[in-house]
Amino acid sequence: MMNSAIQVRGLKKSYDNNIVLNGLDFQIEKGEIFALLGVNGAGKTTTFECIEGLRKYDSGTIMVNGKMGIQLQSSSLPAHIKPMEAIKLFAKWNGVKIDYTMLNTLDIKEIEKKQYAQLSTGQKRRLHLALALIGNPDIIFLDEPTAGLDVEGRVSLHEQIRKLKLQGKTIVLASHDMAEVETLCDRIAILNSGNIVFCGTASELTNKVGRKYFIHIKTEQGDNTFKTDNIENTLISLLSDLRQKGIQVLDIKVDRGTLEQHFIEIARRESK
């Protein structure tokens, strides 16, 4: 019997002439938080749906070792349903008793009187997570769980996900937020042009792409972006240069770069 929670071998899927998955190979170990990263349209949802058994694939094998719980996409419930009605319905379908402790941790009480359509994005996410957990699954799929959430909502969801891991659950999530998956996930797979172009830990990824930062400086003369692996030195030299020229700085932002920028970097390295 395999030890991994999920094993995917040679997974291929096309929609008409559009090859979305061109032979994916990866496995997800039991008890890990695993992220599938990719830009919009990379095929994350398609991969998930193939694994979940919701979508037919063209070829390859998928083995799943455990019960799956799936977090619904937003607005997938009827507008008038109330959270507790949805929870009772799901519990009935799953033939399980409702776990009120779990509902309390997700603060479902706070929203139980509202209708689905009246819930905020964060409240809908919490309800969707509760519904995914109703059947006490071993493997939980979260498709962009923090998209559209504010910082507080994001932090609280990350805490929930970490708690699930401590309970021994396997968490599989899709995201396009590099910073998020770096702090949250044990391993990351990057999906690009139908293939897994990277699969490993966040620090392995950092070693591969280098610790690159992007400094965005807005001045009275316009916007400029600089790439660096040494924020301090680059900032000092940029700022002193601007001061010397008498150009006023209006705003400065530093970030880790977008996923696209990291892809370009990885692709460049692999073609060498």
What are 196's two structure tokens? Answer: 């897994």
> Judged by CB, which is closer to ligand ATP: 231, or 264?
264
Q: How far apart are CA 136 and CA 134, in angstroms?
A: 5
In the complex, the smallest distance separating the C-beta of residue 74 from ligand ATP, rounded to whole angstroms, is 12
Q: How far apart are CA 159 and CA 245, in angstroms?
A: 47
Our finding on whether 101 is near ligand ATP (CB under 6 A) is no
Q: Among 24, 45, 77, 189, which residue interacts with ligand ATP (rule: CB under 6 A)?
A: 45
Residue 211 DSSP symbol: -
Q: Among 1, 3, 17, 40, which residue interacts with ligand ATP (rule: CB under 6 A)?
A: 40
In the complex, the smallest distance separating the C-beta of residue 197 from ligand ATP, rounded to whole angstroms, is 14
Our finding on whether 38 is near ligand ATP (CB under 6 A) is yes
**43 CB-side CA count, 13 A:** 25
| Amino acid letter, residue 211 | R
What are 60's two structure tokens? Answer: 């390859």
CB 12 within 8 A of CB 62: no
Return the range that interacts with ligand ATP (CB under 6 A); candidates 37-45, 152-160, 177-185, 202-210: 37-45
Q: How far apart are CA 96 and CA 136, in angstroms?
A: 9
Our finding on whether 172 is near ligand ATP (CB under 6 A) is no
Among 9, 25, 27, which residue's Cα sits nearest to residue 65? Answer: 27
Binding-site size, ligand ATP (CB under 6 A)? 12
Our finding on whether 170 is near ligand ATP (CB under 6 A) is no
Helices 83-94, 121-133: inter-axial angle, 10-degree rounding? 20
Provide the mask over 176-195, with x wherever binding to ligand ATP is found by CB under 6 A and - wherever it is not: x-------------------
Return the range that interacts with ligand ATP (CB under 6 A); candidates 41-49, 57-65, 205-213, 244-252: 41-49
What are 43's two structure tokens? Answer: 């095929």
SS3 assignment, position 179 = helix
Our finding on whether 71 is near ligand ATP (CB under 6 A) is no
> Judged by CB, which is closer to ligand ATP: 125, or 165?
125
Our finding on whether 42 is near ligand ATP (CB under 6 A) is yes
In the complex, the smallest distance separating the C-beta of residue 25 from ligand ATP, rounded to whole angstroms, is 18
> Judged by CB, which is closer to ligand ATP: 6, or 42?
42
Strand segments, DSSP code E, in 16-150 are: 18-29, 33-37, 59-64, 68-70, 139-143
Which positions from 17 through 36 interact with ligand ATP, judged by CB under 6 A? 18, 20
Q: Which residues bind ligand ATP (CB under 6 A)?
A: 15, 18, 20, 38, 40-46, 176
